[in-house]
A and B are shown apart, each in its own frame.
Chain A
């Protein structure tokens, strides 16, 4: 993103709407901190700039990687859908991506709202490599992993994005080890993250999974995403 200083009238609307506080007023003109900016385009779409001073610039590698992880209306080359996630459990009644005897895990780095450097992904993926997980092949994060040890491309590690979702599935017996890693990384990471657990459900019995997670030391929120099984192949 770019704000033309010679056009900006200093109204400050873009400063207010920036989700990551990357825009500041400097000498009565709005100024984008390029390091903090995640290229989400919210300022361009929602600030109602009265003088059209906000521009979307064509970006070069590696900065361009910020766009698909931050700008919701940009379609990922890998997933074919806009946004950072995949179809995951939303279409599981059609795809059967997650079976009984497995858990899906989604770890969204930078959520809610703080953003993340892509390098944080490696904190998790190098440890998950030791446990053995099956990554969601259409996840944009999976495409960043360059080897079996969970490393990601060095060039992109410092790129800052609004959020990045590590999506994978595991056999049920590996859940405790995965959650242990999550607890360990909590103390190392420089941002926040949110965690979701996907499970097939038998006879509407959600309590069994909630109790299992509780025994492992994790509370479950009362609200969830529920696929109600109306989809057909």
Chain B
């Protein structure tokens, strides 16, 4: 994949899925406040250290390493809340002073914060459903995958096409999940969740 070095902002609100599926889908984001945090000499070092901490906890996806040295943001995706808790505990202890945002189930995140004696500062709520010409959208399962990249770089027809190839034995589930993850440069597509959804789509096609 060709990619120029630049600052990358991510886009993790409005991810689709039932509550049970979202229990396996959390995105952590660290971000400089422009003109404030990035005025300090050690800011880049701090952001790199945050990236290393996230990476040490085996995320299912993370922003590519070359982005760590140029981006104002670091993002990583995890498939369970317990790991999120461990990462947040470490970030709290290190006290970097960089903003941290968790995207995921409100109820689960609140439990984590309570255990770690932290408070919610600000929430960005997603109003339910979509608005406008909803009839033009693909089905919910497809949207569960495409909305994992908030910039919508994952195309709906690539999912249908890969499901067809998997069904005919011409592509593995893992290869399809990898190909669907690649267009998202932020590292916020949850690869293990994509695998599960693909698997259920293949079963639906077969039945």
Chain A: minimal CB distance from B12 (Å): 6
Chain A: minimal CB distance from B185 (Å): 6
- Is B193 located at the chain interface by the 8 A CB criterion? no
- Is A126 located at the chain interface by the 8 A CB criterion? no
Chain B: minimal CB distance from A143 (Å): 16
The chain B residue sitting closest to A229, CB to CB, is B121
The chain B residue sitting closest to A104, CB to CB, is B124
Would B155 and A83 count as touching, CB distance under 8 A?
no
The chain B residue sitting closest to A80, CB to CB, is B34
- Is A191 located at the chain interface by the 8 A CB criterion? yes
With most chain B CB atoms within 10 A of its CB, the pick from A79, A111, A189, A203 is A111
- Is B81 located at the chain interface by the 8 A CB criterion? no
- Is B146 located at the chain interface by the 8 A CB criterion? yes
CB contact under 8 A between A209 and B125, given known A112-B146, A196-B14, A226-B101: yes
Chain B: minimal CB distance from A35 (Å): 17
Within 8 A of B (CB), among A215-233: 218-233
The chain A residue sitting closest to B25, CB to CB, is A223
Residues in A whose Cβ lies below 8 Å from that of B76: none
CB contact under 8 A between A231 and B98, given known A91-B32, A206-B120: yes
Cβ-neighbour of A227 out of B100, B110, B186 (below 8 A): B100
How many angstroms from the CA of A73 to the CA of B120 in the assembled complex? 30
- Is B8 located at the chain interface by the 8 A CB criterion? yes
Would A193 and B154 count as touching, CB distance under 8 A?
no
- Is A164 located at the chain interface by the 8 A CB criterion? no
Interface window among A25-33, A93-101, A152-160: A93-101
When each residue 100-124 of chain B gets 1 if its CB lies under 8 Å from chain A and 0 otherwise, what string results? 1111111101100110001111111
The chain A residue sitting closest to B98, CB to CB, is A231
Residues in A whose Cβ lies below 8 Å from that of B130: 112, 192-194
When each residue 48-88 of chain B gets 1 if its CB lies under 8 Å from chain A and 0 otherwise, what string results? 00000000000000000000000011000000000000001
- Is B192 located at the chain interface by the 8 A CB criterion? no
The chain A residue sitting closest to B143, CB to CB, is A112
Cβ-neighbour of B127 out of A21, A206, A219 (below 8 A): A219
Would B8 and A218 count as touching, CB distance under 8 A?
no
**Total count of chain A residues near the partner, CB < 8 A:** 81
CB contact under 8 A between A197 and B131, given known A74-B6, A112-B152: no
How many angstroms from the CA of A190 to the CA of B4 in the assembled complex? 34
Within 8 A of A (CB), among B13-49: 13-17, 19, 22, 25, 29, 31-34, 36-37
Would B183 and A42 count as touching, CB distance under 8 A?
yes
Cβ-neighbour of A73 out of B13, B37, B185 (below 8 A): B185
The residues of A with any CB-CB pair to B shorter than 8 Å are 15-21, 40, 42, 44-46, 72-75, 79-95, 98, 104, 106, 108, 111-114, 162-163, 182, 185-186, 189-201, 203-204, 206, 209-210, 213, 218-233
The residues of B with any CB-CB pair to A shorter than 8 Å are 1-4, 6-17, 19, 22, 25, 29, 31-34, 36-37, 72-73, 88, 91-92, 95-107, 109-110, 113-114, 118-134, 136-138, 143, 146-147, 150-158, 161, 182-183, 185-186
